[in-house]
Structure 1
Amino acid sequence: MAGSGPEACPVAGRVRRAPPVNQPLLGQQAVQALGIRLRDLRRDAGLTGRELATSCGWVPSKVSKIELGKQVPSEDDIRDWCVACQFPSEISDLVAAVRSIDAQYMDWRRSLKTGTRRRQRANIDAYEKTRLIRAWEPTVIPGLLQTAPYARGILTTVIDFHGIPDDIEEGVQARLEAQRVLGRAHRRFLFLLGEAALYTAVGDREAMTEQLRRLLDVTRAPRLSLGIVPLAAPYTVPRNNAFTIYDSRMVTVATYTAELTLRQRHEVTIYEKAFDRLMALAVRGEEARRLVGQALNDQGEI
C-alpha cells in the first residue's frame, strides 16, 4: 500500500499543536531523536533542565518529558528552547522536524475510509512523479508486480483486516493501472524481495502460480531489476519493515495502523543504507530465476 503521504499544512497565524505520542514505533523513534537533539543543545549551552524550564516559564518536568521523547514539543516550545540555549540558528531545522513528525502519519482509517481504490490512485500520483523507485518487500510481492488474482487476494485481506467498504474490483483495477508506470521511459525500478515472499500463500494455488510466472517475466524486463534475498543470507540489516524509496526525496513505510512518509534527509539516508545492504545480499538474474523456479516447483507446476 505504499504511496505519498499527507503534506504539512500549518494554518497561518496559528500555532500547530503537538501531535500525541501514541504513534507507531517508528514515529516514536522520531520523537525520541528530536528529544536527543534538544537535550544536546541544552547541554551545549551549559544549562540544567531546571534552569531551562525557568527561562522558558515551564514546569521542570516538561524539559525531561521532551528530552525523553514522552512529549512532542510545539513549534513555540522549539523557539523558546533554542532562544534560551542561544542557538536561534537551529530553530528552522527543528521546527521542520516537528512538522515532519506531525505530517508523516497517514492513518489507515482515514486513508481507506471509502475503500481501497482512492488509496491506489494516490500511489499512481507518487509513481508518476518519481524517476527511481526502490522497494523492499520481505513477505509479499510488491503492488507494481502483482497479477490481478494476487492483488485481489492482498486487497481482500486489507478490506477484511481494516473493516472498510468492499470495493475490491475497483481497487484491483486501480492497482493494475498503476503498473503502466513500468513502461514509462526515463524511469528505473529496483525491487528486492525476501525469499519468503515466494511462498506466502496469497489466494489459491492457481493465483500463486500465475504470480510466480509473472516474476520470471519481470527478471527480463528493461529498466527493471529484481533481486531476491535468500532465507539463508546473513543478517546484516533488519529485514522486517517493507518500504519504498521515491528518488531520494521520501520513503514510505507501512505499519498496522498507519503509513509513514519520511522526508527528512537523514531519515531517507538511513533507508537508502538499508536498501544498499539488502541489495548486497540479494541474488539476481539466473540465480533469482532459480529461486522462483523452486517456488513454482513447490506449487507442483514444474
Structure 2
Amino acid sequence: MTTDFQQAREALGRRLRELRGPSAQRELAARLGWPQAKVSKLETGRQTATPEDLAAWAEGTGHPATAEELVARLQGLETHTRSWRRQLSAGHRPVQDVLTVEYERSKTLRAWQGAMVVGMLQTPDYARNVFSRFADLQQSPRDVEEAVLARVRRQDLMYQRGRVFHIVMWEAALHAGLAPPDVLAAQMDKLTNVIGLDTVQLGIVPFGAQLALPPSTGFWLYDERLVIVEEWHAELWLDDPDSVGVYQRVWDKLSAAAVYGTHARRLITRARAHFTDT
C-alpha cells in the first residue's frame, strides 16, 4: 500500500466522520448492522470501503445525496490521475461535490486559467454552456442542471470571511466564445462586480504582456497542501511538496504579469463590448 493511497484513504475517512456528525460510532454501527470496529476502521483509514459500504453510510447518516461523491472519492484512491471517463461516469454533479470539500477545507486558494472563466466566477448560464460542452466531449451523463446548482452554491464561499481567492486569468479567457454573446456579456458583468470584493483578488494577464512562462493548462492551489490540474483526459491531484511548489512558482510568475483593479476592469469592459457589438 503506497503512502499516497493511505493518505487518500484517511481523507475519505475524515469525510465519513464529517457525515456521521454528532452521532456516536456505536449508534451508526447499530443502524447499519455493522460491528463498531468497522465504523472505526473506515473513519481512520485502516480499512478500504466498498461502494456498497459508502452507499449504506450515506443513507445511514441521513445524507443519501453524498453517495455518488463518496464513490467518486473511492475511485480516486489508487492514483493521482483521475480520468474524466471514470469521474464522470455518474455525471458532473459528484465531481463538483468532491471539489466543494476541498474548497471548504482551504483558507487561501489560488487559480490560473488561460482558456475560460474559472468556475468559481461563472454565471449559471455560462456554467451551463461549459458543462454541456464537456458532457458532449466526454460522452457522460447530462446532469447539467444539478452540476450548475452545485457550482453556484459553492460560490457562496467567496463571501465568507476567513477565506481568500487569488484568481488570475489570461485575457484570452475573457474572449473565448463558449456561450451566446448575451451570456458572455452577462459573464463580463459578473467579473466586473467581483473586482473590489475583500475576499477575491482578480488579475488579468493582458495580451502582449511579457511572460516568464507560457500560459498553460488551468489549475487550482489549495493552501500549500494540494494542486489540482485540469487536462483533457484527466485531473491531476498532486499533494507532494515538490509538485505543489512547482505550481506555486508557476502561479507566482504568471500573476506577476497580471493587472488588477481599474486596469483589469478595463480589459473586461473591452471584452464585453466585443460581445455586445457582434
TM-score of the aligned structures, taking structure 1 as reference length: 0.66
Tell me what 2:239 maps to.
263
Cα distance in 2 between the residues matched to 1:269 and 1:194:
21
CA contact (8 A) 1:116 1:167 kept: yes
Instruction: Tell me how far 1:150 sits from its aligned partner.
Output: 0.2
Choose 1 or 2 for highest CA Rg: 1
- State the distance in 1 between where 2:249 and 2:155 align: 26
Higher helix proportion (structure 1 or 2):
2
- d(CA) in 2 for partners of 1:241, 1:116: 20
SS of residue paired to 1:234: coil
CA contact (8 A) 2:132 2:144 kept: yes
Secondary structure at the aligned position of 1:220 is classed as coil
Letter in 1 for 2:124: A
CA distance in structure 1 between the aligned counterparts of 2:81 and 2:214, rounded to whole angstroms: 22
Q: What is the aligned partner in structure 2 of residue 213 from structure 1?
A: 189
Q: Give 1:245's aligned amino acid.
A: L
Query: Are 1:123 and 1:178, in contact at CA under 8 Å, matched by a contact in 2?
Result: no
Q: Identify the residue that residue 286 of structure 1 maps to in structure 2.
A: 262
Cα distance in 2 between the residues matched to 1:132 and 1:147: 22
Judge conservation of contact 2:211–2:257 (CA < 8 Å) in 1.
no
Q: Contact between 2:182 and 2:276, CA under 8 Å: does it hold in 1?
A: no
Matched, 1:227 2:209: no
Aligned twin of 1:8? 5
Name the aligned partner's letter for residue 164 of structure 2. Answer: R
1:241 to 211, 217, 238: 217
Alpha-carbon distance in 2 for matches of 1:146, 1:209:
12
Structure 1 Cα separation of the partners of residues 211 and 267 of structure 2: 19
Residues matched between the structures, number: 207
Q: How is 1:8-157 mapped onto 2 (pairs within 5 angstroms)?
A: 8-9=5-6, 103-157=79-133
> Structure 2 CA distance, aligned partners of 1:102 and 1:168?
28
Question: What is the root-mean-square deviation in Å for CA atoms of aligned residues?
Answer: 1.9
Q: Specify the SS of the correspondent of 2:135.
A: helix
| TM-aligned CA deviation for residue 9 of structure 1 | 4.0
Partners of 1:121 and 1:178 in 2: CA distance: 9
Once the two structures are superposed, residues 195-217 of structure 1 have per-residue CA deviations (whole angstroms, 9 ceiling, x without a partner) of: 00110012111110110000000
2:148 is matched with which residue? Answer: 172
Query: Which residue in the other structure is 1:194 paired with?
Result: 170
Question: Post-superposition, which runs of at least 4 consecutive aligned residues in structure 1 deviate over 4 A?
Answer: none
Q: Percent of pairs identical after alignment? A: 33
Question: Runs of 5+ in structure 2 lacking a partner?
Answer: 8-76
Quote the offset at 1:288 in angstroms.
Answer: 0.3
| Higher RCO (CA-CA < 8 Å; seq separation 6+) | 1
SS at match of 1:239: coil
- Offset at residue 102 of structure 1 (A): 5.5
2:158 is aligned with 1:161: no
**Cα distance between partner residues in 2 of 1:9 and 1:277:** 33
Q: Deviations over 1:124-167 (max 9, x none)?
A: 11100000000000010011100000000110011000001111
Alpha-carbon distance in structure 2 between the residues aligned to 1:282 and 1:172:
29
Match of 1:185 in 2: 161
TM-score, length basis structure 2 = 0.72
The secondary structure found in structure 1 opposite 2:127 is helix
One-letter identity of the residue aligned with 1:159: A
- Asked if the contact 2:181/2:276 (under 8 Å) is kept, the reply is no
Deviations 1:12-47 (A, max 9, x none): xxxxxxxxxxxxxxxxxxxxxxxxxxxxxxxxxxxx
Name the SS of the counterpart of 2:220 in structure 1: strand
Separation (CA, whole Å) in 1 of partners of 2:126 and 2:103: 20
